[in-house]
């Protein structure tokens, strides 16, 4: 019985961490997707070449992080339905 409670607590923590990490990652990727503004700002100081391949990393990172948020919320919903039974 104590093992089930420990597993449930660990599952709750993992789900919460996945949601937080996914949300933070998605937020960071969304902020970084403002590459036109960054290109202008970094162009002023001569660092525009740094952004040449940024979109190849940022868009997949945004999709991955949003997927983590969705998966975490899905697991949270499953856990609530199992507790109701």
Q: At what angle do helices 54-84 and 2-32 cross, to 10 degrees?
A: 150
**Residue ranges covered by each domain of the chain:** 2-80
**pLDDT higher than 70, residue 33:** no
Residue 12 confidence class, pLDDT cut points 50, 70, 90: confident
Torsion angle of alpha carbons 25, 26, 27, 29, nearest 10°?
Answer: 80
Output the average pLDDT for the chain: 76
Give the pLDDT score at 35. 63
Whose CA is closest to 69, among 9, 31, 28, 35? 28
- The whole-number average pLDDT for the span 49-78 is 79
Whose CA is closest to 29, among 3, 2, 55? 55
Distance CA 74, CA 78 (A): 6
Residue 9 confidence class, pLDDT cut points 50, 70, 90: low
**pLDDT higher than 80, residue 67:** yes
């Amino acid at each position: 019985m104590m093992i089930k409670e420990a597993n449930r607590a660990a599952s709750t923590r993992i789900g919460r961490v996945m949601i937080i990490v996914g949300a933070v990652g998605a937020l960071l990727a969304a902020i970084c997707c403002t590459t036109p503004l960054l290109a202008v700002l970094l162009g002023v100081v001569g660092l525009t070449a740094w952004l040449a391949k940024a979109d190849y990393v940022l868009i997949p990172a945004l999709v991955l992080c949003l997927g983590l948020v969705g998966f975490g919320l899905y697991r949270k919903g499953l856990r609530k339905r199992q507790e109701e039974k």
